[in-house]
Amino acid sequence: MRTSELRQLILTLLSSARRQDDPRQVIGLTYRQISERIGALLPPSQEARARELLAGRVSEQLKVLESEFEIASKGEGRKSFRMAPPALIVEWEVPLRAKYVGDRAYMNEVIELLKAVGDRETLIIETSKSADESREILESRGISVQTEKMLFEFLPEPQLPTQVDLSMAEQLCAEDISTNIEVYVPRRMNFFDKRWVSLAEALPSEMSQLRRIKDKSLRFGKTRDTYLWATSDALYRLEQKQALLAMYRIDHDADAARLLDTESDIPIELIRQLPVDYRLFLRRYTEEISFAPRAGSGSTERTAKYLRVQFKYKKLLAELLESKLGINKPMK
């Protein structure tokens, strides 16, 4: 199955998932439901390995479609996916040229309201009206008109845990933790340089209140990070989202912005080190590339994966990373 066909299948499946009593309202499907319904289209003789590969491709396409604001997800563990609310992403403001994204059920209505020309293949809509005029017409009907910059204005700002956050967090004592603790040390260095240091080795003057321990699952053998916030008399467990936002706030307060060369290929590890809401934009503005080990080199290394910033988004991504997360921000 080609990628374009898989993409269209997912969109068709989610577009048809609607409330029976109100067909204009979409409902969510889990990754498993989506994979099983698409897998049911394969011939019965298809090998189990092929079905596993298809499930992996479905997972990847869901991430791509979410980064394009075509679909939206809800939940942390057992996510559900649905068509995103309808929106226009502006490519040209006067006269308006924009791409329609989200629930297709509203596209004809948008074209009629704007007296526009619409292409259902490319989803491009053009009208003699300006972006501001179109926004005034559509937003009262729940359809947004946004530029790329407007899309990331609503991303959460880096911040330290508040007293309210800590009062709702699980409290731990040092005696409750049997493994080694690492402490986050802000440094104005290359993005991927070491910033997590053993608590026993860190200098008190360098230490932040952000801590991390690595737990190994006995069942799966994988390591996961548990984040903590240290006060004078207790440790509080943080959600990953809170911890990553705190990490970038610590960098800001210490005037220790991370340095990242967005002109070169970027190790894919970058995705894991960004707050989850920012990962959608990273996927939106980059393309994934792979470099296999050289043939005949005898290397046992795995294929190296990188992100390459799309040319038209280079300036925009650099602005997003600096204005929101302080990456590459000049020293004060």
Q: Given this model, what pLDDT does residue 178 score? A: 62
Kindly give the residue spans of alpha helices, DSSP state H, lying in the chain: 3-15, 31-39, 48-67, 107-114, 131-138, 148-152, 163-168, 240-253, 276-285, 314-325
pLDDT reported for residue 153: 84
* pLDDT score of 77: 67
Q: So what's the pLDDT on residue 292?
A: 72
With CA atoms as reference, report the closest residue to 199 among 178, 219, 213: 213
- Is 256:190 a contact under the CB 8 Å cutoff? no
Please tell me the pTM assigned to this model: 0.83
Q: Which of 183, 201, 103, 112 is nearest to 144 (CA)?
A: 103
User: Residue 75: what pLDDT?
Assistant: 78
Cα 277–104–15 angle (5° rounding)? 80
What per-residue confidence (pLDDT) applies to 300?
56
DSSP state of 128: S
The residues of the chain scoring below 70 in pLDDT are 45-48, 76-77, 174-176, 178, 216-221, 293-301
Query: CA-to-CA distance for 79 and 75, rounded, in angstroms?
Result: 5
Tell me if 184 sits within 8 A of 195, measured CB to CB. Answer: yes
Which two tokens mark 249? 């706030």
Architecture field, domain 3-83: Orthogonal Bundle (1.10)
Cα→Cα distances 51→1, 2, 5, 14, 37, Å = 11, 14, 16, 20, 12
CB 144 within 8 A of CB 85: yes
Going by C-alpha positions, the residue among 127, 128, 145 that lies closest to residue 136 is 145
Residues belonging to the chain: 332
Question: Which runs of E-coded beta strand occur in 61-209?
Answer: 71-74, 80-83, 87-92, 97-101, 117-118, 124-126, 144-146, 171-172, 182-184, 196-198
Specify the pLDDT at position 105.
93
Residue ranges covered by each domain of the chain: 3-83, 87-146, 163-253, 266-325
**Radius of gyration for the alpha carbons in the chain, expressed in angstroms and rounded:** 23
- Rounded to whole angstroms, the Cα distance separating 144 from 115 reads 17
8 A C-beta contact, residue 286 and residue 307: yes
CA 66 to chain centre: 8
pLDDT for residue 294: 64
